[in-house]
Amino acid sequence: MKSSRLGVLRGVLFLSLLALVSCGLPQSTSDNPSSSSRNPSVRPTIVFMTDFGTANDAVAICKAVMIGIAPDARIMDITHQVTPFSIAEGARFLAGVSPYYPAGTVFVAVIDPGVGTSRRAVVVKTKKGQYFVLPDNGLVSPVVERDGLDSAREISNTSWMIGENVSSTFHGRDIFSPVGAHLAAGWDFTLVGPVLPQLIRLTSQVPTTTDKGIDGDLIGLDDPFGSVITDIPADEFKTLGYKIGERVTVLLDKKPFTLPYVKTFMDVPVGDPLLYVDSRGRMALALNQRNFSQVNKVTPPGTIFIPKKGVPLKAK
């Protein structure tokens, strides 16, 4: 009799525990179209970038919208100091950062000079499995060229937005932030809107190599240090024949400038210039512990020509 009562008690406890666990399981509804592919034990990550700056409340508002929808999400910042309206600079930062994040990461990028016009708001999924929520203006072009396009959809489903009264000038708050948060919360990507067969592509210039040397462009600054970044890949520069320690005369905006080719900043005295390979594998110019751009009054965009070793340099 005693063992029988014990068995009944164990059964009741088991059923009670089962009911308690079942009550804690998330329920999928039409209002929360979650994707079953997301691992609930992995905290979602949203990576955020804008040209909004930090002198106003725009970034804080966007983050508040994201947290209100996906309270468990980690929000990581690339920068909010992209040169205003510079799609090319934003595209460079986005392509530079995204390789360091895993599949499933949601990137929200708002450099959007065409806000409120007929330009489309989109979600792009790459073959790496990352999501990019942004305007269709070429901002994601370098990422797609590198990682491949899985699919892209136009954002048209208003239930993914902050509401039906969308501002014509603040899509970062009303469209991109809530869509990014819903993706981070596990909503089904295919419900955001119709498939886009083609994206706007950013037209990027590439350096030109001839038997005389390489023509390239000054594409950005490594701020706050003021180093000038070029679009010339290190491997392409090395075909010109220069060795570490040799002095190189280049044309910056058609003006000659001579500096040593070295590995790092302290290879030259403080205040001296150097030509080096930056951390992204591009040629760059700097002053050791000084601001190259300010001192030499060189600011992108601009041009650079590096002659092949032994070829006389002529002003162009």
Position 192 scores a pLDDT of 98
The CATH number that domain 208-307 falls under is 2.40.30.90
pTM: 0.82
In the numeric block, which tokens belong to residue 42? 């992995």
pLDDT tens digits for 274-305? Answer: 999 999 999 999 999 999 999 999 999 999 99
* Domain extents in the chain: 45-191, 208-307
Closest CA to 286 of 185, 206, 239, 218: 218
Instruction: Report, as an integer, the average pLDDT of 90-114.
Output: 97
Contacting residues for 121 by C-beta, under 8 A, at least 6 apart: 133, 134, 135, 136, 154, 155, 171, 175, 176, 179
Instruction: Report, as an integer, the average pLDDT of 228-246.
Output: 97
In angstroms, the CA 176 to CA 160 distance is 9
Let me know: does 276 contact 246? Beta carbons within 8 Å: no
Task: Give residue 38's pLDDT band: very low, low, confident or very high (50, 70, 90).
Answer: low
Where residue 129 falls (left for φ over 0; alpha for ψ -120 to 50; beta otherwise) is left
In the numeric block, which tokens belong to residue 114? 């065409």
Mean model confidence pLDDT for the chain: 89
DSSP letter assigned to residue 101: S
Task: Give residue 39's pLDDT band: very low, low, confident or very high (50, 70, 90).
Answer: low
Closest CA to 180 of 228, 110, 260, 247: 110
Architecture of domain 45-191: 3-Layer(aba) Sandwich (3.40)
Exposed/middle/buried for 52, CB within 10 Å: 0-12, 13-18, 19+? buried
pLDDT tens digits for 185-207? Answer: 999 999 999 999 999 999 877 89
Position 156 scores a pLDDT of 96
Task: Give residue 11's pLDDT band: very low, low, confident or very high (50, 70, 90).
Answer: very low
Q: Higher model confidence: residue 41 or residue 226?
A: 226
